[in-house]
Structure 1
Amino acid sequence: MTQQPWLLLSSRPITQLEDAHLPLTGSAFHGYANAWPTPVAGDQADALGRPCTRLVVGGDNTLDVQGNKLTVETSSRNITPLYWSADHRGNFIISTDLLIAASAWVNLTDCQLSVRENAGVHLGDHSSIHGLTRLQHSNRLEVVLQGNRTHIECCETFDSLALQSARFNTAVLAGEAQLSALEHSIADHLKWPGKVAALVSGGVDSGLVAALLAKQCPTFEAFSIGTPWGNEFDDAQQLADAIGRPLNRVELDPQSILLALPQTVRAFGHAHPQAVEIGVAISAFCRQLTAGHLIFTGYGSDLINSGLATGDGMPDDIRHSIAIEVNKTRYSSELTSLAAQACGSELAHPYWDQRVLRTALDTCPSVKTTRGREKGHLRLAAERWLPAEAAWRKKTAIHHGNGLGAALSQLIDDTSGQRASAPAVYRQLLVTQLEQATRTPLSPLSAQEILDRALHSITHRC
């Protein structure tokens, strides 16, 4: 286990974070980081050719620091969130980590912060903690330090994911275009220097990623995740056999799942039950995997190709559903790699890369229901890469395939001794970590301590 990665910039020094100081050459801003890639000062230049430092978050959110000016641009994807706050006295902070942002803000202002009662996903600029703002997708934030004051402007930029078209209007053309985009995406990710792995379930989404990955990286490792309550090992084995790779079957035990909850909640910055149920399996998997892996997944395909629709009662035009699901995902943070990075690895979600997204959003809706099936165009194209059974296999949500969708809430109830306690426990995990971060941000509790304290708080609540 490595350390939780985070980055924070502030208008003023943060006493509690001095041991994590990050030098920003020639900048009036103060930088702090933990397990974060060290920026190279002067490798970028502003409009006048003056050197600046660029920090990248989540692949395509950028923070450019030059002198007394900070420019932040969030992408349309906004995979890893940024949290910020400012007041009229010149205090300003922005961070990749909600808890570190809270700790810094308390240190600067002596204010009291608390977790919202609704600590789930907010479709707007609210974070799960009162007083901290989540910088939304497709935004540009400019902060200029002027003595003891700050001048701040925030505006919207072009949202490249807001538009859908019917450019690809035949199933074969659309399917092949998306496969080509996936191949390019995988090639870009393979610049990673470490070991390569892929999570497979036996379905078309992860199956295509694995098959295309095998073409470019024949030695990658294939994994399938199961729990005591369910798995898709047999389907995944069929896929692994078809692409000529051995399958590593990983069955998560209940305790490892529970211990992955704090890390999942922290990485997401919220306690939305369904998102946590989906994310906790991969967090638990990463905690067991040796560090240094690049892990490919099939996450995101359902969002951009079917709007999470299944074969039952699909509308002819699914553009509205796709727009809704894409937008939600830009706020849920469930595709962030922070939980994996805390374990020394990295996640790659090729379906959520810009080129693949654009291809999917430019595909005619009727094509996506070819043969009366969701993702029909993709399934058709998959036939030359996968067994037909895998290409057309009925969709199963990941947290149902591994059994967590039904069993995690019951596991938490059994552990807490209270009925329907899962949402309260998830929120309390955030509360417990906030309390610790406020006191000693550079000395986080272990997963077991966080879990124990959260459960104790729930079970002893009047």
Structure 2
Amino acid sequence: MAPLSKWCVVSNAPLPDLAALAAHAEPGALHVYHRGPEGAALPGEAPFVLDVGTLRAEADGTRDPMTSSTLRVDADAVVVRISGLNEDPVHYAVNRMRGLFAYFTDLFLAPLVLPGLGLPVEMTGTAVGHACGTLLRGVSRLPHSSVHRTRYEGGHWRTETGDLRDPLRDFREPHRTDPAAAGEAQLDALTAEIERIDSTTPAGTGYATLLSGGIDSGTVTYLAATAGLSVTPYSVGTPWGDELADAAELCAELGIGLEAVHLTEDDIIASIPEAVRWLGVTEPEVVEVALTATSVQRLGAVPADRTLLTGYGSDLINAGLYRPFAHHHELIDQVLSAVDRTRRSNELSGRMALAHGTGVHHPFWSWPVMRVALETAPECKVREGREKYHLRTAMGRRVPEPIAWRKKIAVHHGGGLQDGVARRLEKETGSSDREPVYRACFAELLDRSARGELEPVDPPDLFERALGRVRSR
């Protein structure tokens, strides 16, 4: 099924270019445009609260502000609370001379929003880092752990911003110092998260995992299977390598079948525009990490009626390269920096899953699991030349030693796939710098959005046109 983007826009200006694409409400002085998932509708009157991740209306105060971003609309005010994790972004644009503003959850709506505010649509001249916001002039991404209030008073719209406590500040002195105990605590938290997911999913739902030979996806697959979920693992092979044999070893241990997914080079390359579309960023490492999951989603390799559980996020909270002479606090900084960087990179955003109408969960990136991992001392995570030592120790009590302690060949998160993509793009452009290709995809997507084409309906053609932009420079 072709993707259909889901989003919400709140503005004090009418935005006619959005009217034909979404439900439109006018609570008082505001305009709300909403295209949510099936069965999600705007409430009949203000005030109402939308969960930014699901785009569904929620009772005020029912979501944990640490883990869920929300958008509250009153007749003459809008309040946006951005969670401490901030996977799903909210963007803000304002024309202060005219007193017009908009909050919107999809960056590629900018060509349909900014003209209504009297603002131009322009890409920045150079790539921006995660901390700098977006690739569009005049459009900012609201930062994590913050509150933004815009209200009408005294004949003017006034905006106030405030910071909430950043939860990462609490983990400078991790207290879990026993690897086996820390690993067991994390498995307990993961089990509880998987059970929580299952309890909120319709009865009879089948599950899928993206299973490599690594400990992360292996742990999620093991816990899902042993919890009694009907789970089918899918393992991806590419022209640059696979881990099918390693994945099959765990499946044999669990007594479940394995589905192999073979992606061609062209499959992966054609997924670049869609990866850029749902990420909204063009940093090569971020785009390339997303290509496997994007290809699987784009090609429908996992049936749409299965809820996907991944091992993504574990590398951030549990890992760190083995560095025998690294200082304790340096390793702590490494983990916290990785988490901070990822909550601004959109790598774990749910926008692609919403567009495709599929359920995707990242159990390692749930706050209870993250909290246990961040409470764990780095000496538990990196020991005897092995990363994720604590997790392997705990899993080693459940599966054979070769499975728990196998050294992973990176396929999903770089390694052969990233090198293969780099070689292909250098062949296409004559340059080893991949970012211009991804920026050209962004520009092409932006132009199409201005025409109301908000989804990449022909990714190969879009990619070829992006290459044409790069070659013509």
TM-score in same-fold range (> 0.5) = yes
Instruction: Give 2:248's aligned amino acid.
Output: Q
Residues 1:367 and 2:383 are matched in the alignment = no
Instruction: Give 1:72's aligned amino acid.
Output: V
Mapped partners of 1:80, 1:400: distance in 2: 21
Deviation (angstroms), 1:148: 6.8
Mapped partners of 1:83, 1:363: distance in 2: 34
Q: Secondary structure at the match of 1:81?
A: coil
Q: Pick from 349, 368, 378: which aligns with 1:355?
A: 368
Q: Secondary structure at the match of 1:456?
A: helix
Mapped partners of 1:103, 1:147: distance in 2: 29
Deviation (angstroms), 1:313: 5.7
Q: Secondary structure at the match of 1:188?
A: helix
Equivalent in the alignment of 1:8? 9
Mapped partners of 1:297, 1:340: distance in 2: 13
Report 1:11-26 matches (<5 A). Answer: 11-24=12-25, 26=27
Decide whether the 8 Å contact of 2:289 with 2:414 is kept in 1: no
Mapped partners of 2:458, 2:6: distance in 1: 15
Q: Secondary structure at the match of 1:94?
A: strand
Q: Secondary structure at the match of 1:250?
A: strand
Q: Pick from 192, 203, 212: which aligns with 2:201?
A: 192
Decide whether the 8 Å contact of 1:21 with 1:31 is kept in 2: no
Decide whether the 8 Å contact of 1:16 with 1:441 is kept in 2: no
* Residues 266 and 116 (structure 1), Cα distance of their counterparts in 2 relative to 1, 3 Å cut: same
Q: Secondary structure at the match of 2:271?
A: helix
Q: Pick from 19, 41, 44: which aligns with 2:43?
A: 41
Equivalent in the alignment of 1:71? 79
Mapped partners of 2:211, 2:221: distance in 1: 7
For residues 374-410 of structure 1, the C-alpha deviation after alignment (integer angstroms, 9 at most, x for no partner) is: 2211111111232211211224444467721110011
Q: Secondary structure at the match of 2:34?
A: strand
Report 1:407-446 matches (<5 A). Answer: 407-414=420-427, 416-440=428-452, 445-446=457-458
Mapped partners of 1:259, 1:166: distance in 2: 43
Equivalent in the alignment of 2:95? 87
For residues 193-247 of structure 1, the C-alpha deviation after alignment (integer angstroms, 9 at most, x for no partner) is: 3431101112111111111111234421101112111111111111111222211
Decide whether the 8 Å contact of 2:149 with 2:159 is kept in 1: yes
For residues 111-146 of structure 1, the C-alpha deviation after alignment (integer angstroms, 9 at most, x for no partner) is: 32222243354224x211111001111010111134
Equivalent in the alignment of 1:96? 105
Q: Pick from 94, 107, 111: which aligns with 2:116?
A: 107
Decide whether the 8 Å contact of 2:429 with 2:467 is kept in 1: no
Instruction: Give 1:285's aligned amino acid.
Output: V
* Residues 120 and 251 (structure 1), Cα distance of their counterparts in 2 relative to 1, 3 Å cut: farther
Instruction: Give 1:452's aligned amino acid.
Output: E
Deviation (angstroms), 1:316: 4.1
Q: Secondary structure at the match of 2:288?
A: helix
Equivalent in the alignment of 1:229? 240
Instruction: Give 2:102's aligned amino acid.
Output: I
Decide whether the 8 Å contact of 2:270 with 2:463 is kept in 1: yes
Residues 1:202 and 2:210 are matched in the alignment = no
Q: Secondary structure at the match of 2:170?
A: coil
Decide whether the 8 Å contact of 1:7 with 1:36 is kept in 2: no
Equivalent in the alignment of 1:136? 143
Deviation (angstroms), 1:23: 4.5
Percentage of matched positions with identical amino acids = 32
Deviation (angstroms), 1:445: 4.9
Mapped partners of 1:331, 1:174: distance in 2: 27
* Residues 379 and 444 (structure 1), Cα distance of their counterparts in 2 relative to 1, 3 Å cut: closer
Decide whether the 8 Å contact of 2:95 with 2:101 is kept in 1: yes
Q: Pick from 166, 169, 186: which aligns with 1:162?
A: 169
TM superposition outliers: structure 1 runs of 4+ over 6 Å: none
TM-score, normalising length: structure 2: 0.89
Decide whether the 8 Å contact of 1:310 with 1:395 is kept in 2: no
Q: Pick from 360, 376, 381: which aligns with 2:394?
A: 381
Equivalent in the alignment of 2:226? 215
- Number of residue-to-residue matches in the alignment: 450
Q: Secondary structure at the match of 1:386?
A: coil
Mapped partners of 1:11, 1:266: distance in 2: 27
Equivalent in the alignment of 1:452? 464
Mapped partners of 1:292, 1:149: distance in 2: 48
Deviation (angstroms), 1:359: 0.8
* Residues 374 and 152 (structure 1), Cα distance of their counterparts in 2 relative to 1, 3 Å cut: same
Q: Pick from 337, 340, 346: which aligns with 1:333?
A: 346
For residues 139-187 of structure 1, the C-alpha deviation after alignment (integer angstroms, 9 at most, x for no partner) is: 1011113487421111110111232133322122211111111011112
When the two chains are superposed, the root-mean-square deviation of aligned CA atoms in Å is 2.3
Equivalent in the alignment of 1:299? 312
Mapped partners of 2:135, 2:123: distance in 1: 6
Decide whether the 8 Å contact of 1:432 with 1:450 is kept in 2: yes
Decide whether the 8 Å contact of 1:225 with 1:249 is kept in 2: yes
Instruction: Give 2:315's aligned amino acid.
Output: D
Equivalent in the alignment of 1:253? 264
Instruction: Give 1:160's aligned amino acid.
Output: P
Decide whether the 8 Å contact of 1:79 with 1:336 is kept in 2: yes
Deviation (angstroms), 1:360: 0.9
Decide whether the 8 Å contact of 1:171 with 1:377 is kept in 2: yes
Q: Secondary structure at the match of 1:407?
A: helix
> Please, which moves more after superposition, 114-123 or 182-191?
114-123
* Residues 364 and 262 (structure 1), Cα distance of their counterparts in 2 relative to 1, 3 Å cut: same
Residues 1:127 and 2:134 are matched in the alignment = yes
Q: Secondary structure at the match of 2:209?
A: strand
Mapped partners of 1:393, 1:98: distance in 2: 40
Structure 1 residue runs without a partner (length 5+): 43-49
TM-score, normalising length: structure 1: 0.91
Deviation (angstroms), 1:21: 3.4
